[in-house]
Amino acid sequence: MGFKMGIVGLPNVGKSTLFNALTKTAAAQAANFPFCTIEPNVGDVAVPDARLDKLAAIAGSKQIIPTRMTFVDIAGLVKGASKGEGLGNQFLANIRETDAIAHVLRCFEDGDVTHVEDRVNPVEDAEIIETELMIADMESIEKRLQGLSRKVRGGEKEAVEQERLLKAALAVLNDGKPARTVDVAADDRRTWNMLQLLTAKPILYVCNVDEGSAATGNAFSDAVAEMAAAQGASTVVISAQIEEEIAQLSDEEATEFLSEMGLEEPGLDRLIQAGYELLSLETYFTVGPKEARAWTIRHGTSAPKAAGVIHGDFEKGFIRAETIAYDDFVTLGGEQPAKEAGKMRAEGKAYTVKDGDVLHFLFNT
């Protein structure tokens, strides 16, 4: 299981350039005019993880299979999108299908690249899109409440739960706050997620800066960081232009180029890491001579649920998980040495998988 992140922003902020770089394709047309992206482009990319390479080298694995992440490049929204302006509601629907939102903000000056609002102010840009999403949510909630009224009067349990949560969301939206500020109880989380409110989705602000500011950020990205901190949101500073250049280089050339730019890793790595933290995701590994593979799970996932990510039968017939911590596997030199050192544990159904665990599942067919 990976996750799907929607890339949103006003026109001409660098969304499609970033998408092209991240997916190393030219599938999204990057052009200097609004609405150059008409259908949402979807890119499936491997999640870089140096731990997987180390495990494969120790185990002599013939194949390395990283976990994957999906980016969706959603066309530029504009003021009035919730009322159908620009390409409007078509794109609001695309956002609903994502797990999280990467909101790309223009944090650079360039007279050759037009801005739909004729100025550069990333904080105001963020407010424009947030407002459109909030308006869309409010309209959606009001329609749903009307549709639920008869079922609620009839005492239908699920309808009553939905009505309560929708009203809680509407209350914060009317107060000018996104739905993600609602304090949702653990028991309500499943129903809440099914509501698919746009402003309930976790958000990551991506500051697209000029090449010279890629390592340190600039005044624009500093303003975004201040705004994000006030919201309890996260930010990542990236130069889409640099990422586009890196995408065309070999691994060796890319490493040298990053060093020259004062960067330790590509923006892709930082974006994925921030996305994982945003959604409380973790990685566990299965390792053997045939393949070394990474698997993505939510933080707090039980061993049977983690097994189910590989195959449903693994979860249904789960017996136990033979578990080695990543550090023990690497330090001791593999599965057998770890086993001999007493570092392989037999964990049952109650075990919560930890990030980096190397697992082997035993199950009944």
Annotated binding site: 12-17
Annotated binding site for ATP: 12-17
Torsion sign (Cα): 272, 275, 277, 282: negative
CB of 285 within 8 A of CB of 299?
no
Closest to 295 (Cα-Cα) out of 341, 204, 361: 361
